[in-house]
Amino acid sequence: DRVYTSDIEGHVTGISLSPDGRTAALAVRTPGDPFELRIVDLRKGEHRRIARLEEGLNIFGAPQWTKEGAYYVAGRAEASGGAALYDLYHVPPGSDAPRSAPGVGKDFVAASIRVSPDGERLAVIGRLNPQSPTNLYVLDLAAGELEAVTTNEDMEIKTGQDDLAWSPGAESVAIV
């Protein structure tokens, strides 16, 4: 066990471990500055910024560190029409430029995400477009293919970060 003692300026609003447990992805908010994504090497105790979000975007939940890079859900604090619309973003390894996540489609509205224990898939609670119902999807990260796991017929799916979990062997996903 180690305590990470290097200062990270700002507030850490979300954290997740890499599949190998050697690094952590952090969402960091510094007052007056845009959100940043940081990677912490837990063995060396070093951290570095991998991306700075555009002004006005907020990260919802914890970024997820995968074999294909970091994924996170972000959106504007106040979207027009009352309901916030969040998008799924991806920062590939070695890049500092966030982009829309491959495989989900341009109208996809993400709510929460969780990486599988093997780091190969991402469970996503979201909607194919703003008018469609909320469902659970699994994104194969290497292939960039999105599979619908549920077909929502008048069920309420909670969208919080803690309402989504993988089994330890990555065979199944639980939702609330």
Q: Please, which residues bridge with residue 70 across strands?
A: 65, 91
Contact in structure between 64 and 72 (CB atoms under 8 Å) = yes
For 112-171, how does the pLDDT look when each residue is reduced to its tens digit (9 = 90+)? 999 999 889 999 999 998 888 999 999 999 999 999 999 887 788 888 778 899 999 999
At residue 102, the 3 state secondary structure works out as coil
Number of neighbouring beta carbons within 10 Å of residue 61:
23
Q: Which residues on adjacent β-strands are paired with residue 59?
A: 74
pLDDT digits (tens, 9 = 90+) for 154-167: 788 888 778 899 99
Q: For residue 94, list its beta bridge partners.
A: none
pTM: 0.87
d(CA 49, CA 170): 29
